[in-house]
Amino acid sequence: MLRPRPAFALTLLLAIVAAAFAGAAAAQQQVRITGVHVDELGDLPGDMRLGAFAVERGIAAEEEITSVRMVAGTFDLAITDAVPDDRYLRPLLSGSFPLAFMIGNEFVVDREGVRYAVAVLHPYQDRCGSDAFDPLRDVRYASTIPELPDFAGFYNLVYVSDAIVLQATAAEFPLQRGWNLVLSRFDGGRLVYEVATTVELVVVTTGPTSNVQDLLPCP
C-alpha cells in the first residue's frame, strides 16, 4: 500500500486550508426580508414578483438585482450572492450617506477604498413569465417608504464591497461585506439604530402603476 510522503501530505493540507480560507473570504453576507404586499388600489394580479433594485440618483434602476415570486401577496426575499452592477457602486466616503430616516445622516468611515450601493424593493407584474423584470413589458409598482412592522421604524438595504464601520454621533454601524439591513426603530419616542440580516413581517405598500398602455406585448 502506497503512503503519501510527509512533504506531499503537508503541502496538500496547506492547500486545503488555503482553499477554505479563500472560500470564506469570497463569501458575502446575506439578508432576508419577509412580509406582505398591499396595494392602495385593491386586488393584485397573480403573476407578481418582488424585486430589489439599485438606486441611482434617487431613482430605482431598471435592472433588478434579484427577485422572488409572491404568493397571495406575501413574499420571502433572500439576497445571497447577488451583487449590484458596477455602474451603481460608488465610493463610500466620510460625509453624507443616503440612508433614509437617519438622524443627521452624517457619517465617518474607518477606512477607504470601499464601495457601496443602496437598493429598494419594488413589486412588479411579471406579465410575460420571464422571472425577471423587463422594463419594456412589465408593470412596476411605485412603493412607499420602507417601513418596519406596526410603524415601528424604517429599514435601509445597503451593499458594501468590504467590511467597514460607519460612525455617527447617534450610533456606530458595522457593515459586513455584502448585504446589510440598517434599521432605525422608535423606542420611547426616540430613534435607535441597528444593523441586521433579517427583517420580518414588513408591509410593502404600493400606489398607482406606470402607464400599461406604453408596454410592449409579450414575445
Residue 42 or 29, more confident:
29
Domain range annotation of the chain: 28-207
Q: Which residue has the higher pLDDT, 164 or 95?
A: 164
User: H-type helices in 113-170, by residue range?
Assistant: none
Percentage with pLDDT > 90 across the chain: 53
Query: 82-86 long-range contacts, Cβ below 8 Å, gap at least 24?
Result: 82/52, 83/28, 83/159, 84/54, 84/117, 84/119, 84/159, 85/54, 85/61
Confidence label for 9 from pLDDT (cuts 50, 70 and 90):
very low
Mean pLDDT of 186-214: 84
- pLDDT for 59 equals 84
- Give residues with Cβ within 8 angstroms of 149, minimum separation 6: 35, 200, 201, 202, 203
Question: Tens of pLDDT along 98-150?
Answer: 776 665 668 899 899 999 999 999 999 999 999 999 999 999 998 888 888 87
